[in-house]
Amino acid sequence: MVSFGGYSMPLLYKSIQEEHRAVRENVGLFDLSHMGEFVCRGDGALAFLQRMTVNDVSALGEYQVQYTAMCYPDGGIVDDLLIYRLPDHYLLVVNAANLTKDWEWLMQHKPDDVELEDQSDQLGMLAIQGPRAEEVMRKITDYPLVELKFYWSATAKFGSSEMLFSRTGYTGEEGFEIYCPCHAAGELWDLVIAAGAPFGMSLVGLGARDSLRLEMRYSLYGHELDDKVNPIAAGLGWICKPDSGEFIGRDAIVKMKTEKPQQRLVSLKLGARVIPRQHYKVWSDGQEVGEIRSGLYSPSLGCGIATAYVPRAVAKVGGYLDVEIRGQMERAEIVKPPFYVRQPANAEVGG
């Protein structure tokens, strides 16, 4: 168990590599109850979220989910988050480590016609991820899952309670995330454990969660993202919609998009026995050009992988940089993300 975002969280249950492979090849269960959840409602809710986030909230259909970010006026990222458009409110799902900061930032800008409620201590969250995730879900709900598209949500009864769930996840695999009232979290956990037993479902901790997300090159706040990073430099231009109207950070984002970022986030692939770590120095032709933001051993690829911000001039895919590891220079190839390409699911899995 380790401290994470103010919570005591399991780093692993058995082993990081075993749990990682279970999600890639079979199915795994994550307890994500540390995530923060804010409810936003009122006549001005849409206009408020349009101003506070970089994506176009108005494009969401009812029960659709959107990945987005909040920025400071200089373009630095407050946090990355999910927004659910629900029938009578919006649900914002934020990073646990940023919960207090995010809440204060939103409250600082909230107009009178918007109501915000922090439900983080009232909601638990479980994620079922992997090629057989839908098979497990079929055993705990009668909702027609084949109709639920990626990044859409619905409500259904799980056990004795009605719950919100979505076809979303942080692993790159097929999967679902379920939001449950805290009083029902134990019941839901037991329900999922029983449903997953016939499939050999594994419990998955923070270690494999990190290796799974990094193989997909998904960003993590405090690593690839922080208050000094512009979304354009982070490769998140696809979620920035300047044409949707004014939002905080818009001018800085438009400027960087026009002038091109001086630093770019690159994906580095190293040798089989080389494990890069956060803050290790990155070099190009004998010059220090950056440091590792995230780095670990990839169970799927059998080699070291990492991310780093480096000058645009040396950030070309197919080029090489050096990572300093315990005084030794290790060669790293700049590769196109993601590191891991998801394998096609078995035709019989998922209906």
- Edge to edge, the sheet with strand 89-94 lists 65-71, 77-86, 89-94, 36-41, 115-118
Under a CB-based contact definition with an 8 Å cutoff, are residues 307 and 223 in contact? Answer: yes
In a domain, 238, yes or no: no
In a domain, 224, yes or no: no
Strand 161-166 vs strand 115-118: parallel, antiparallel, or unpaired? unpaired
In a domain, 239, yes or no: no
- The average pLDDT across 190-216 equals 98
Same domain, residue pair 200 and 316: no
348: pLDDT strictly greater than 80: no
Same domain, residue pair 73 and 156: yes
pLDDT tier, 32 (very low <50, low <70, confident <90, very high otherwise)? very high
Among 150, 181, 212, the domain boundary falls at: 212
344: pLDDT strictly greater than 80: no
pTM of the predicted protein model = 0.95
Same domain, residue pair 113 and 184: yes
- Supply the range of the domain harboring residue 312: 262-339
In a domain, 80, yes or no: yes
Same domain, residue pair 156 and 26: yes
In a domain, 200, yes or no: yes
Same domain, residue pair 267 and 126: no
Same domain, residue pair 296 and 193: no
Among 181, 212, 243, the domain boundary falls at: 212
pLDDT at 350: 28
Q: How many other β-carbons are positioned within 10 Å of the β-carbon of residue 243?
A: 6
- Name the DSSP letter for residue 336: P
In a domain, 98, yes or no: yes
CATH code where residue 112 lies: 3.30.1360.120
1: pLDDT strictly greater than 50: yes
- The average pLDDT across 83-105 equals 98
What is the rounded CA–CA span in Å between residue 78 and residue 171?
Answer: 23
In a domain, 219, yes or no: no
In a domain, 227, yes or no: no
- Residue in 336, 317, 206, 244 with CA at minimum distance from that of residue 59: 244
Number of domains in the chain: 2
pLDDT at 9: 92
Same domain, residue pair 190 and 327: no
- The average pLDDT across 207-228 equals 98
346: pLDDT strictly greater than 90: no
- Residue in 284, 313, 314, 281 with CA at minimum distance from that of residue 295: 281
Same domain, residue pair 10 and 91: yes
CATH code where residue 327 lies: 2.40.30.110
**Residue 47 contacts by C-beta under 8 Å, 6 or more apart in sequence?**
none
Same domain, residue pair 57 and 205: yes
Q: Please provide the average confidence, as pLDDT, over all residues in the chain.
A: 96
- The average pLDDT across 127-152 equals 98
Same domain, residue pair 28 and 88: yes
123: pLDDT strictly greater than 90: yes
Same domain, residue pair 328 and 181: no
Same domain, residue pair 208 and 276: no
